[in-house]
Chains A and B, each alone.
Chain A
Amino acid sequence: MIAINVDMDKCQHYGQCVFEAPDIFKLNDDDKLEFVATADDSRRSDIESAVDVCPMQAISIVE
């Protein structure tokens, strides 16, 4: 399993991660980010893409 962390002090809810891994990240009705904290290893590539595209570089994979 992969553990995902979003630094909510950094996150500005731009939502770019949502396009990379919509099963992990979503914007709620108030445009605030919600995410699931663990994912199967098969999701690593898309989650790394979400890490890459985050404008605030707020997302990390906890190794």
Chain B
Amino acid sequence: MSKSVVIVGASMGGLRAAEALRNNGFAGRITMIGEEAHLPYNRPPLSKEVLAKEVTHEAVAFKLRSQVEDVTWHLGDPATSLDLDKKVVTTASGKSFEYDGLVIASGLRPRVLDLPNGKISGRHTVRTLDDAIGLRAELVPGTKVVVAGAGFIGCEVAATARGLGCEVTNVAIDPYPMIRPLGEQLAAELQRRHESHGVNFKLNHGISDLIGTEKISGVVLDSGEVIQADVLVEAISSHCNVEWLSETKLDISNGVLADSALRAVTTDGASVEGVYVVGDLARFANPLFDNEPRRIEHWNIPTETGKRVGSVLSAYLADAENFAELVATPFMPLPSFWSDQYDMKIQGFGMPGLADRYELVAGELSDELVMGYFRGEILIGVVGIGMTSEVMKYRKELIS
């Protein structure tokens, strides 16, 4: 009887894993289990151009390649438990799915603030298409928008809302926007650019409560200051969707720990054959940098990990002779990220957040630029605003 693969998480990482399984010769059944009702779509535009226009699934959907035409989609019904011994995934509706190979790609969900007067309308996140549709409807000229969180997504939403004519205040506990990946110098410059576009920052502050009876009319900062608001967008951080794995012996202390072949690892440190992790959840060591397992929430990681898993898992299921060789092949994807804010094209590679120093290596701080990020003498990250060819020169150095 032919073998079957269940992929939990019907987004980009799950899709790429399915494609890669087929590309590597796996011909058995593939079932994709997803919480959302939508077929896989691209999330980054949700805080950028799609949010600025009419938001539709068609505008962001991934094209389904011929390789995955015969995949079974089980959508709108999230996985709720896993039995590793019986090799069965169960969903919220009570359906069971047996597998020979399992791909864990259930991703993240936004963390939202726990506030005393939190149960009023006007609160938004921007993880899903439905989130973006709901937020888009509120972003009309003159709307007072408070964005909680000054990471990339928070800053993208702030820029997009300004472009739509909203009044925008960005509240964050960090001292500068995007400081963790970019460092103080570039972060301060980006704050200046946001301010020149009319964004008001309340940095080094948290939000302690909301004002309003049915709908938000204001946001209370931890200093007691009140900011008028019609809309609160929460882009502070994420939770890992691992609750469905809580009865297993997998190490889910931070995402799902995985070995270099991306097989899930137990709390005893043992790799589980046939069970793989893809995307934002996968906590793996990247020899390009060091031996510390980390989750990487950058856009190219679902694709990189999906391809890796498709290759290794298809060999495992086929009892292929090259399985051991594939497992032993180092996995060292170069993280890459990008962000559109106003007319700025920000593009980065590597792990600049791990750097102990940075240095402007091309351009001018107030204009287009390239910033190099170093740990000791070694370049471990590069971030550019524009200057694509220059950025790419440093990208080559990162993988050499």
A1-33 near B? 1/0 per residue, CB < 8 Å:
000000000001111101100000001000100
With A12-B340, A16-B336, A53-B300: A31-B389 Cβ-Cβ less than 8 Å = yes
- Distance (whole angstroms) from the CB of A28 to the closest CB of chain B: 10
B164 close to A (CB within 8 Å): no
Q: Which chain A residues numbered 35 to 58 have a C-beta less than 8 Å away from chain B? A: 45, 48, 52-53, 55, 57
Count of A-B residue pairs with CB < 8 Å: 37
- B86 on interface, CB distance cutoff 8 Å: no
Q: Is B78 an interface residue (CB 8 A)?
A: no
Is B303 close to A, CB under 8 A?
A: yes
Q: CB-CB < 8 A to A27: which residues of B? A: 388-389, 392
The contact string, 1 if C-beta is below 8 Å from chain A, for chain B 337-361, is 0101000010100000000000000
Of A31, A48, A53, which is within 8 A of B388 by CB?
A: A31
Kindly list chain A residues whose C-beta atoms are within 8 Å of the C-beta of B395. Answer: 19
In contact, A55 and B388 (Cβ under 8 angstroms): no
B388 touches A15 (CB 8 A): yes
* CB-based contact A48/B65 at 8 Å: yes
A25, B386: Cα distance in complex, Å: 18
Chain A interface size, as a band, is 10 to 19
Across the interface, A60 reaches (CB within 8 A) one of B63, B386, B392, namely: B63
Q: Which residues of B contact A52 (CB under 8 A)?
A: 16, 303
Is B42 interfacial (CB 8 A cutoff)?
yes
Tell me, in angstroms, the Cα distance from A53 to B16 when the chains sit together: 11
Bound CA span A48–B63, Å:
11
Verify A12–B23 contact, CB threshold 8 A. no
Considering the chains assembled together, what is the distance between the CA atoms of A27 and B234 in angstroms? 37
Docked Cα-Cα span, A14 to B62, in Å, equals 19
Verify B345–A12 contact, CB threshold 8 A.
yes
A44 to chain B, nearest CB (A): 10
Of all A-B residue pairs in the complex, the 4 with the closest CB atoms, nearest first, are A31-B388, A55-B338, A15-B388, A52-B303
- A contact set with B: CB distance below 8 Å: 12-16, 18-19, 27, 31, 45, 48, 52-53, 55, 57, 60, 63
What would 6 A/B residue contacts be, using CB atoms closer than 8 Å?
A14-B345, A19-B395, A31-B387, A45-B23, A48-B65, A63-B66
